[in-house]
Structure 1
Amino acid sequence: MVSLTSPILPIGAEEVRPVFACICHAVTEDQIGSAVDSGADTIDEVGCLTGAGTGCGTCHDRIEELIELRCGACPLAALQVA
Protein backbone atom coordinates (compact mmCIF):
# COMPACT_ATOMS: atom_id res chain seq x y z
CA MET A 1 0.00 0.00 0.00
CA VAL A 2 1.36 3.45 -0.93
CA SER A 3 0.97 6.26 1.56
CA LEU A 4 -0.60 9.38 0.11
CA THR A 5 1.81 11.53 2.13
CA SER A 6 4.98 9.75 0.96
CA PRO A 7 6.86 11.33 -1.93
CA ILE A 8 7.04 9.31 -5.12
CA LEU A 9 10.71 8.79 -5.95
CA PRO A 10 12.29 7.45 -9.13
CA ILE A 11 13.31 3.80 -9.00
CA GLY A 12 16.64 3.45 -7.20
CA ALA A 13 16.46 6.92 -5.62
CA GLU A 14 16.85 7.23 -1.89
CA GLU A 15 14.73 9.56 0.18
CA VAL A 16 16.82 12.23 1.86
CA ARG A 17 15.57 12.98 5.33
CA PRO A 18 16.56 16.07 7.27
CA VAL A 19 19.02 15.66 10.12
CA PHE A 20 17.87 17.58 13.16
CA ALA A 21 20.55 19.36 15.16
CA CYS A 22 18.10 20.87 17.64
CA ILE A 23 15.24 18.62 18.67
CA CYS A 24 13.60 21.19 20.98
CA HIS A 25 12.87 23.53 18.09
CA ALA A 26 13.04 21.05 15.16
CA VAL A 27 15.96 22.87 13.50
CA THR A 28 17.86 20.93 10.86
CA GLU A 29 21.58 20.99 10.15
CA ASP A 30 20.78 22.55 6.77
CA GLN A 31 18.92 25.41 8.47
CA ILE A 32 21.91 26.02 10.75
CA GLY A 33 24.18 25.97 7.69
CA SER A 34 21.99 28.61 6.05
CA ALA A 35 22.18 30.75 9.20
CA VAL A 36 25.98 30.48 9.16
CA ASP A 37 26.00 31.40 5.47
CA SER A 38 23.97 34.47 6.44
CA GLY A 39 26.68 35.57 8.85
CA ALA A 40 25.88 33.83 12.13
CA ASP A 41 29.13 32.68 13.70
CA THR A 42 28.15 32.03 17.31
CA ILE A 43 25.62 29.76 18.99
CA ASP A 44 23.66 32.84 20.12
CA GLU A 45 23.50 34.25 16.59
CA VAL A 46 22.39 30.88 15.18
CA GLY A 47 19.77 30.81 17.93
CA CYS A 48 18.48 34.27 17.01
CA LEU A 49 18.07 33.23 13.37
CA THR A 50 16.77 29.69 13.82
CA GLY A 51 15.79 29.10 17.44
CA ALA A 52 18.37 26.31 17.69
CA GLY A 53 20.17 26.15 21.01
CA THR A 54 17.64 28.26 22.86
CA GLY A 55 15.95 25.34 24.62
CA CYS A 56 17.74 22.74 26.70
CA GLY A 57 21.21 23.47 25.28
CA THR A 58 22.08 19.86 24.46
CA CYS A 59 22.70 20.82 20.82
CA HIS A 60 25.29 23.53 21.57
CA ASP A 61 28.23 21.24 20.79
CA ARG A 62 26.71 20.20 17.46
CA ILE A 63 25.91 23.81 16.52
CA GLU A 64 29.53 24.75 17.27
CA GLU A 65 30.74 21.85 15.09
CA LEU A 66 28.48 22.95 12.24
CA ILE A 67 29.75 26.53 12.49
CA GLU A 68 33.34 25.30 12.33
CA LEU A 69 32.60 22.94 9.43
CA ARG A 70 30.87 25.70 7.49
CA CYS A 71 33.32 28.55 8.01
CA GLY A 72 36.38 27.00 9.66
CA ALA A 73 37.62 27.37 13.17
CA CYS A 74 38.65 30.85 14.27
CA PRO A 75 42.45 31.11 14.04
CA LEU A 76 42.46 32.98 17.35
CA ALA A 77 40.71 30.13 19.16
CA ALA A 78 44.01 28.31 19.69
CA LEU A 79 45.59 31.30 21.44
CA GLN A 80 45.57 31.29 25.21
CA VAL A 81 44.85 34.44 27.14
CA ALA A 82 47.24 34.95 30.06
Structure 2
Amino acid sequence: MYVCSCFGITEQQVKQHAEDGACTPRQIASACKAGTDCGSCVRRIQSLLGRGACPRRELADQGRPALTALDETTLDEAA
Protein backbone atom coordinates (compact mmCIF):
# COMPACT_ATOMS: atom_id res chain seq x y z
CA MET A 1 0.00 0.00 0.00
CA TYR A 2 1.27 3.47 -0.86
CA VAL A 3 2.03 5.85 1.99
CA CYS A 4 3.34 8.75 -0.11
CA SER A 5 1.56 9.24 -3.42
CA CYS A 6 3.80 12.15 -4.39
CA PHE A 7 6.92 9.99 -4.51
CA GLY A 8 5.40 6.49 -4.75
CA ILE A 9 6.70 5.32 -1.37
CA THR A 10 5.11 2.19 0.08
CA GLU A 11 4.56 1.07 3.67
CA GLN A 12 7.19 -1.61 3.13
CA GLN A 13 9.76 0.98 2.04
CA VAL A 14 9.06 3.11 5.13
CA LYS A 15 9.39 0.02 7.33
CA GLN A 16 12.69 -0.88 5.65
CA HIS A 17 14.07 2.62 6.23
CA ALA A 18 12.98 2.33 9.88
CA GLU A 19 14.79 -0.99 10.20
CA ASP A 20 17.84 0.72 8.71
CA GLY A 21 17.71 3.34 11.50
CA ALA A 22 15.36 6.11 10.35
CA CYS A 23 13.16 6.61 13.41
CA THR A 24 11.55 9.99 12.74
CA PRO A 25 9.51 11.35 9.83
CA ARG A 26 12.38 13.74 9.10
CA GLN A 27 14.82 10.84 8.81
CA ILE A 28 12.38 8.98 6.56
CA ALA A 29 12.15 12.13 4.41
CA SER A 30 15.94 12.27 4.17
CA ALA A 31 16.02 8.65 3.09
CA CYS A 32 13.29 8.69 0.43
CA LYS A 33 11.62 12.14 0.22
CA ALA A 34 8.31 10.84 1.64
CA GLY A 35 6.50 13.68 3.39
CA THR A 36 8.42 16.47 1.69
CA ASP A 37 5.90 17.52 -0.97
CA CYS A 38 2.25 17.88 0.06
CA GLY A 39 2.80 16.49 3.59
CA SER A 40 -0.42 14.49 3.72
CA CYS A 41 1.50 11.27 4.47
CA VAL A 42 3.42 12.51 7.51
CA ARG A 43 0.83 11.30 10.03
CA ARG A 44 0.77 7.88 8.38
CA ILE A 45 4.56 7.73 8.53
CA GLN A 46 4.43 8.69 12.22
CA SER A 47 1.93 5.91 12.78
CA LEU A 48 4.11 3.34 11.04
CA LEU A 49 7.16 4.43 13.00
CA GLY A 50 5.22 4.19 16.25
CA ARG A 51 4.35 0.58 15.53
CA GLY A 52 7.54 -0.47 13.78
CA ALA A 53 10.80 -1.77 15.04
CA CYS A 54 13.12 1.14 15.59
CA PRO A 55 16.48 0.07 17.00
CA ARG A 56 16.86 3.27 19.02
CA ARG A 57 13.41 2.88 20.56
CA GLU A 58 14.19 -0.71 21.50
CA LEU A 59 17.35 0.46 23.27
CA ALA A 60 15.36 3.09 25.15
CA ASP A 61 12.82 0.48 26.19
CA GLN A 62 15.63 -1.64 27.60
CA GLY A 63 16.74 1.19 29.86
CA ARG A 64 19.61 2.37 27.70
CA PRO A 65 19.91 6.06 26.95
CA ALA A 66 18.16 7.14 23.78
CA LEU A 67 19.68 9.61 21.37
CA THR A 68 19.27 13.22 22.32
CA ALA A 69 17.79 15.86 20.03
CA LEU A 70 21.35 16.99 19.31
CA ASP A 71 22.28 13.46 18.20
CA GLU A 72 19.24 13.34 15.88
CA THR A 73 20.10 16.73 14.42
CA THR A 74 23.62 15.52 13.74
CA LEU A 75 22.28 12.38 12.06
CA ASP A 76 19.87 14.42 9.94
CA GLU A 77 22.68 16.72 8.82
CA ALA A 78 24.89 13.76 7.93
CA ALA A 79 22.19 12.21 5.73
TM-score when normalising by structure 2 = 0.66
2:4 corresponds to which residue?
22
Distance of 1:24 and 1:48 partners within structure 2: 15
2:24 corresponds to which residue?
42
Query: Number of residue pairs matched?
Result: 57
Secondary structure in structure 2 of the residue aligned to 1:21: strand
Question: CA deviation digits over 1:8-60, x for unaligned, max 9?
Answer: xxxxxxxxxxx000001000000000000000011010011111111110001
Identity across matched positions, percent:
30
| Aligned-CA RMSD value | 1.8
TM-score when normalising by structure 1 = 0.63
- Segments of 4+ in structure 1 off by > 4 A? 72-75
Distance of 1:26 and 1:40 partners within structure 2: 18
The answer on 1:59 being equivalent to 2:33 is no
Secondary structure in structure 1 of the residue aligned to 2:37: coil
Q: Which runs of 5+ in 2 are unaligned?
A: 62-79
